[in-house]
Amino acid sequence: MQKIFDEVSSLDKKCYDKFSLSEDLLMEHAALALKCEVNNKIKSYNSTILIVCGVGNNGADGLALARLLQDEYLNIIVYTPFEVKSKMAKLQLERLKLLGVNTTNSLRKVFDIDCVVDSLFGSGLNKPLKKEAIDILEKINSIEAYKIACDIPSGVDNNGEIKNSAFKADVTVTMGALKTSLLTDGAKEFTGIIKKANLGLSSSCYENQTDMYLLEQKDLKLPFRDNINTHKGNYGHACVVIGCKKGAGVIASSAAFSFGAGLVTAIVHEELQLPYYIMQSHNLPSNVTAIALGMGLGLYDKNELKKILNTNVAKVIDADLFYEKLLLDYLNQEIVLTPHPKEFCSLLKLTKLADIDIDTLQSNRFKYVKLFCKKYPKVTLLLKGANVIISQNNKVYVNCLGTSALSKGGSGDVLSGLIVALLAQGYSFLQSAINASLAHTLAAKNFKSNNYALNPEDLIEGIKNL
């Protein structure tokens, strides 16, 4: 996993103060990283590269890139729509002019361009764009070319919000370290693949301590059975409470069985047509080791719910329970919660932490996750979204491996089944949420058919083959 930071100006300052690296040297490494990305994709000397440069240090990175590329491609267009202002931007522009490289402040011809590099605005953007900037972004977005964003796509502000328009990149080369503003749900539409540039120091030297981490595929620990002399009891007994919307619980039960739980029992009021390997019972068995409830719950007897919730085993809570006040009695114990944004808004209101709508939450996902987990440090919270946020106490983990294929009914029920399977097998609450989320998103990512066609059975089958 990689570290994430809210800001990196303090990390740059450490380079200057502690390691005697100059701003100029860091910028040179930033430009080299951009150059490598251009070279990796654009192979022909006859290509045209458009570099759009702003007034500050983000623009200076683009100007430095133009200097490095000036003899490598037939046509380098350096577009400076505004007069440069920062000290480094002025210096980089002077260096370009000494090499005889011209810039232009107008962009009439927007075809036959092979690569566009966006160095207009950096990660410090803190206000809506003016009309002229919006027009520029719309024009360069319309160009059919490979698109690279320098540090962060222009138009994505320092909170990861898009107020009106933003550059839509195929790849974002972010400088020095990962930023939270790149990992919001709104920013995901614009960042493309995110690559981290080395600025002249290893990550261990450049970065400080943090409580935020980006999860990677290599972080997944599947529940492989390394011991040979075992039996089903060694892998736990997961129970899934089936509510009035029975399909949700059935999906979760199947997912739990396929992710290593030794036994799976569906808690039902009436016998159902379930896969033969899923047991059915009206009551919790005595050897239960983990419970999943809430998915498809609907109208469920409150006394029965309290009895289940009072059972002293690991639990994952989903869906309908986030609208029930009785859940408040269980937030001071270890438990996994898996709300989607609407459900999390309800949970925030129940806990009197905030009364907000979904749009407000989506613009401040990290803020409200941290707020909730500060009040309930024993809870492991998994907030669903384009980028999944998993938090416990002061630790925050982001899983950005998901795809739009998961935007289907039943996907969340599969996730609950995966979590309860790991809880049943003895994984910690945090590790259950992290590994289940990674398996869930990677299975969707590996899906070979059209992304609109994924169903829960496909997802479970994909998890079997990770």
Residue 185 marked ligand-binding: no
- Same domain (yes/no): 203, 229: no
Residue 154 marked ligand-binding: yes
- The pLDDT value recorded for residue 298 is 86
**CATH number for the domain that contains residue 137:** 3.40.50.10260
CB 214 within 8 A of CB 4: yes
- For the chain, what is the domain count? 2
Residue 61 marked ligand-binding: yes
Residue 125 marked ligand-binding: yes
- Same domain (yes/no): 447, 363: yes
CB 317 within 8 A of CB 294: yes
Last residue of a domain, one of 210, 229, 256: 210
CB 420 within 8 A of CB 410: no
Q: CA–CA separation, 399 vs 213, rounded Å?
A: 9
Give the largest Cα separation in the chain, rounded.
82
Range of the domain at 289: 218-464
Q: Which conformational region is residue 186 in: left (phi greater than 0), alpha (psi within -120 to 50 degrees), or beta?
A: alpha
- Same domain (yes/no): 181, 275: no
- The pLDDT value recorded for residue 124 is 74
- Same domain (yes/no): 205, 252: no
Last residue of a domain, one of 210, 239, 256: 210
- Same domain (yes/no): 450, 304: yes
Residue 261 marked ligand-binding: no
Residue 122 marked ligand-binding: yes
CB 57 within 8 A of CB 122: yes
Residue 355 marked ligand-binding: no
- Same domain (yes/no): 346, 411: yes
Contacts of 172 (CB under 8 A, 6+ apart): 148, 149, 151, 152, 153, 182, 191, 192, 193, 194, 195
Residue 412 marked ligand-binding: yes
* Tokens representing residue 248 in the block: 């949700």
CB 436 within 8 A of CB 419: yes
* Three-class secondary structure of residue 216 per DSSP: coil
- Same domain (yes/no): 19, 133: yes
- The pLDDT value recorded for residue 301 is 87
Last residue of a domain, one of 191, 210, 229: 210
Nearest to 172 by CA among 123, 110, 107: 123
Helix or strand run (H / E) with residue 436: helix 429-445
Nearest to 106 by CA among 132, 68, 74, 143: 132
- Same domain (yes/no): 225, 175: no
- Same domain (yes/no): 152, 173: yes
Residue 455 marked ligand-binding: no
Residue 58 marked ligand-binding: yes
Output b/e per residue, 37-50; b: 16+ Cβ within 10 A: bbeeebeeeebbbb
Q: What's the number of CA atoms in the CB half-sphere (13 Å) around residue 121? A: 22
Residue 123 marked ligand-binding: yes
Distances (CA, A) of 314 to 39, 237, 239, 427: 51, 11, 10, 10
CB 120 within 8 A of CB 63: no
For helices 456-464 and 246-258, the axis angle rounded to 10 degrees is 10
DSSP H helical segments within 102-211, as ranges?
A: 131-141, 185-191, 203-206
pLDDT in tens, the chain (466 residues): 999 999 999 999 999 999 999 999 999 999 999 999 999 999 999 999 999 999 999 999 999 999 999 999 989 999 999 999 999 999 999 999 999 888 999 887 666 899 999 999 988 787 888 999 999 999 999 999 999 999 999 999 989 999 889 999 999 999 999 999 999 999 999 999 999 999 999 999 999 999 999 999 999 999 999 999 999 999 999 999 999 999 999 999 999 999 999 999 999 999 999 999 999 999 999 999 999 999 999 878 899 999 999 999 999 999 999 999 999 999 999 999 999 999 999 999 999 999 999 999 999 999 999 999 999 999 999 999 999 999 999 999 999 999 999 999 999 999 999 999 999 999 999 999 999 999 999 999 999 999 999 999 999 999 999 9
- Same domain (yes/no): 313, 281: yes
Q: CA–CA separation, 298 vs 253, rounded Å?
A: 17
Q: CA–CA separation, 269 vs 84, rounded Å?
A: 71
- Same domain (yes/no): 284, 397: yes
- Same domain (yes/no): 201, 257: no
Residue 303 marked ligand-binding: no
Residue 39 marked ligand-binding: no
